[in-house]
Amino acid sequence: MAEQGYTLGILVRITTKEGERDACLAALKTLFEQSTQHPTFIDAAVYRDSAPEGIVLVERWAETAASFQERASSAEYFARFEREAGPLIADRNVSFFDGRPAWSRSA
């Protein structure tokens, strides 16, 4: 599944169709309520972008991009999200990164 000590970071930027951001946020909440039960889940946050229709997701998982993509592509909860939220989304950009911080600070 995951390389020893590997942390996958995922950054997703979504632009919803006009007036659909709240509906998309509700669908994301349902998706994360289910997907975050997976044992490789570390943490995730969903933000409202400063753009009126924008959403930003930041996730970290203890697995590789390949294993995450394979698991997500076969998960019913992800398919349900795509059926519900797919028509609400105008644009989506997904980036994978090394989820281990080079520098970090919390209040």
Q: How far is CA 87 from CA 18, 19, 90, in A?
A: 12, 12, 8
**How many angstroms separate the CA atoms of 71 and 61, rounded?**
12
Report the pLDDT averaged over residues 15-33: 98
Neighbours of 24 (CB within 10 A): 23
Domain spans, the chain: 12-98
Count of helices and strands (H, E) across the chain: 3, 4
Find out if CATH 3.30.70.100 is the number for domain 12-98: yes
Q: Report pTM.
A: 0.91
Q: How far apart are CA 89 and CA 15, in angstroms?
A: 6
The answer on pLDDT for 1 being more than 70 is: no
Pairing of strands 41-48, 89-98: unpaired
Measured distance CA(61)–CA(101) in Å, rounded: 13
Per-residue confidence at 3, pLDDT binned at 50, 70, 90?
A: low
